[in-house]
Chains A and B, each alone.
Chain A
């Protein structure tokens, strides 16, 4: 079920009403059944895959807790193999096979392994990573193994964050399923606010920008570098609003039910460096890779050269996590490269950055440069193929021309949407509670803000924008 669908507008209130009407002891069952229904609205059969990983990790957790030494490690490895195995089959098999075929062809051999004709289960990478974090945390002794099979299933399947995160840690969410969440007016209002702003980000900003982005990225050879540069910038805003919008709806839906999910985005476009950007962008995934890959590799407690390799490797794997294609791998590697360069350059510029006269210049320039570098990397993320990405990047730097404007109205709506978004982000970044219309102490201001946003969604929102980009991962 899509968050931006009419079905969800009926589903969520219904679940909330039933949730608060039911006695506490039955609530987990309602949430589990609702989550199953939510997931099965995509491809019903794929719930079996989810069921497989749930069963494996549930027992793995208990066995890990009850074992010591090598056996303990063996159970963890089994669980990781099962999870990564599912990912490998459904997400990476054809990619590996395709590259193997090319490699074998280059030395005159024929690859006989057939391609799998299967659809990628929605949100597979998200719930697999959430499941993996459970067994790892149990292994590390940070989390007790969950004995209640229903509650553990809910940990993996909780519908607000099932298909596109935030990727939660068991320590943050598991205990919340046992807590009795009384009806809380403030939670409901706060959740509704988050959902409303999430919808705004998705249908007014992301889906509007997608109209221009799709045309330019699908036919880059027909357009000049100026138009492609605008499309690249628009895509950076689009993907942010698509994913952060989703995350806000997820966190808001959970909040209405009394649950606290982690914040996934922290106004990333105000980052002064790529390193800062990745501390503010898709936080739940960045911290997952930090905790379960980067730090085990030695993190920054190793010599500088090794540290740089660790960073580049972690980001490349993060790229691969997003999708089985060279585009995503290059996207990940590029971001890793940015961080490495940032790490190397950072100590050299520290003196200037802190100097009063240059400080402001560095802050503004750093933000603009970071945004531009991130936008360039996102070209690989969005382009249909590596060839297309290279065409776009080359044209951006070599071909200047008249901006392609298929419809002035579209462009005006796009710029208006970006302006509203950035004003809101600016306010949250620099002004704290001042001018926070949604949180104004004046009830009239607050309500006018809600109505204006709802009205903007109705008036200029794109209602046939389709699914969220991150659902495919």
Chain B
């Protein structure tokens, strides 16, 4: 009697698993199809950065990169530009995207926007790698990075739906007629328009350095260098003053070791505490971004001319 019940239970479990697997495959394939059919929005910009962009200048980084580097100031008429920065996606994401880019071509200039706590241990660094899950199966070069999300990521990624978890509404919006033109970006750059209303004292960060992030940063630097791209690591302006962070110290050391230029604008007096140039504490608005982009591009041109 018990044996029969055990057999019945096993049969039910197997049947349920089979149905779920079929459903998972079908829904995963549908979501995948529509995900890659989008032609605007965040997800599209990641796809474009990884699979299509072939510009001379590429900017990498998180939201600070995305909202701080205005295309019209870089490259002039001779060099093309694309900003791959993505909100809340950090060094692991940047390194993965660079690896995909380098598999296709070698950009002339790579700019990495480095945040002052970029190497701080935060679960968010790994959680946000969900942005790369749709590319896991088709991009072998990013798998090692994606697998740092969790020890079981490889198993989870056997599912076809999991890479598109929580994306159904954004995918739907990206495929609707009315939303096909939701293009807010100029070659990846998205402008902020607000003004920051408050003053702020010096910020003190208590960082715990994450070795995986340090390795990812070093991998970013060596990958760009080995491919033959000119690399510049930039700390773009901040609204607040801060005490020197371990992340910045390490970044400087790594850049020095590999002969990479490190430009720090975080304490630049043009921007510091100027409420008219910031949308929030860490992000400049379009006015600030334009002043900064002009300033940086001049510096890069001078460097190119003088070689200093």
Residues of A within 8 A of B (CB): 6-7, 182-183, 185, 188, 408-409, 412-413, 447, 450-451, 454-455, 458-464, 466
Contact = CB atoms under 8 A, between A and B. Distances in A.
Tier of interface size on chain B? 20 to 34
Nearest to A221: B198
5 contacts: A7-B152, A447-B16, A451-B16, A454-B20, A463-B162
A334 to B, nearest CB: 31
Nearest to A462: B166
A379 B212 CA distance: 36
A461 B169 CA distance: 13
Contact of B168 (A183, A447, A459): A459
Contact of B123 (A451, A459, A464): A464
A185 B127 CA distance: 38
Interface string B24-43: 10010000000000000000
B52 interface: no
Given A409-B166, A464-B123, 13 more contacts: A182-B2, A183-B2, A409-B169, A412-B169, A413-B169, A451-B19, A455-B23, A455-B27, A458-B161, A458-B162, A459-B27, A463-B165, A464-B127
Contacts of A185: 5, 8-9
B276 interface: no
Contact of A460 (B2, B20, B151, B168): B168
B155 interface: yes
Given A447-B16, A454-B20, A6 B169 contact: no
Nearest to A13: B13
B9 A458 contact: no
Interface of B: 2, 5-6, 8-9, 16, 19-20, 23-24, 27, 123, 126-127, 130, 149-152, 155-156, 159, 161-162, 165-166, 168-170, 173
Nearest to B167: A409
B62 to A, nearest CB: 16
A242 B91 CA distance: 31
Contacts, number: 58
B22 to A, nearest CB: 10
A6 B9 CA distance: 22
A188 B156 contact: no
A455 B166 CA distance: 12
Given A458-B24, A459-B161, A464-B127, A183 B166 contact: no
Binding site of B, secondary structure by majority: helix, strand, loop or mixed?
helix
A412 B172 CA distance: 13
Contacts of A464: 123, 126-127, 130, 149-150
A46 B252 CA distance: 40
A-B CB proximity, top 6 nearest: A6-B152, A409-B169, A464-B127, A185-B5, A458-B161, A183-B2
B5 A183 contact: yes
A413 B166 CA distance: 8
Contacts of B8: 185
A459 B23 CA distance: 11
A466 B123 contact: yes
A6 B159 CA distance: 14
A447 B19 CA distance: 10
B162 to A, nearest CB: 7
Contacts of A7: 152
A409 B174 CA distance: 12
Contacts of A412: 169
A188 B16 CA distance: 15
Nearest to A465: B127
Contacts of A183: 2, 5-6
Contacts of A466: 123
A465 to B, nearest CB: 9
Contacts of A447: 16
A451 B2 contact: no
Given A6-B152, A450-B16, A460 B6 contact: no
